[in-house]
Amino acid sequence: MAAPTLTLEHLAKRYGDVVALEDVSFAVEPGEIFGFVGSNGAGKTTTMRIVLGVLAADSGEVRLGGRPVDLDVRRTIGYMPEERGLYPKMKVGSQLRYLAQLHGLSPTDARAAVERWTDRLGIADRLGDEVDALSLGNQQRVQLAAALVHDPLVLVLDEPFSGLDPVAVDVMSEVLVEKAATGVPVVFSSHQLDLVQRLCHRVGIIAGGRMSAVGTVDQLRAGGPVRLVVDAPLAPPGWAEGLPGVRTVATDGSRTLLDLDPDTDDQQVLTAALRTGPVHEFSRQTTSLTDLFREVVSA
């Protein structure tokens, strides 16, 4: 079966007077890795639980390939919750085979799938161990195996990189890229914005239960300020103050970090810097996703 598009339309959720989600909409296309980021309490986990049908939205709809998410559709989703859902006293192999069969695999297919994914994730030698005897990183790998073992049509992962060592992060990153390359839509939340920037085709930023921005990192940058680094060793303090559309972000010795409004001509800044004497550096600094995130959530 071809991988479907995951579509969220106008999701809203309240708990009494507390607005958890308001008009949350985005789509994750086949083969796309979508990073879902926001501060604690912004609404990421609530959104993902609604996608899985664990929570009911007050209004709005989630569809997978055009179909509302019912029990049959949920069986095609690979889900990794932030609060890990493994049985701590059950052995890894038995647990994964059990979960695979719950998703409809035969005992033979379940065993083959468990062997394949535990080998891929580097935990094949832990099949006979109880889950709570594993390190946090290996528990994370088992949880990812549980999300993958039934060959899902879409992956929904809530903080999958939390607590992982660098080697485990690399393994998990590779698996997500490989699954997306087969056409599977992948959406994951993370506070590790460097990973989101490196792995994701598009990013959605949620703040206060509302989607504040959705797009590629380059698209999000296009709507933000241009950042310049100017090294003018003879320039007096505050030399850029008063230039229209220009704000001083920081100074470090003779180097000044400036933000320019998108329609501001950077040549006026260069002209002003040259009036003070020689200019040893005049360059644009690429805005990171971390900087974009700060700008969006503080707006």
Selection from 28-37, 74-83, 191-200, 209-218 with the highest mean pLDDT: 28-37
Query: What are the angstrom distances between the C-alpha of 122 and each of 31, 94, 135?
Result: 24, 17, 13
Tokens 């935990």, residue located: 123
Indicate if the pLDDT at residue 87 is higher than 60.
yes
What is this structure's pTM? 0.82
The helix/strand/coil state of 6 is: strand
Q: Give the pLDDT of residue 82.
A: 80
What CATH number belongs to 222-298?
3.30.70
Encode 127-164: b = buried (16+ Cβ within 10 Å), e = exposed. beebbeebeebbbbbbbbbbbbbbbbbbbbbbbbbeeb
Instruction: Spell out the domain ranges in the chain.
Output: 6-220, 222-298
The helix/strand/coil state of 250 is: strand
How far the first Cα of the chain sits from its last, in Å, is: 43
The mean pLDDT value for 198-226 works out to 88
Third-level CATH fold of 6-220: Rossmann fold (3.40.50)
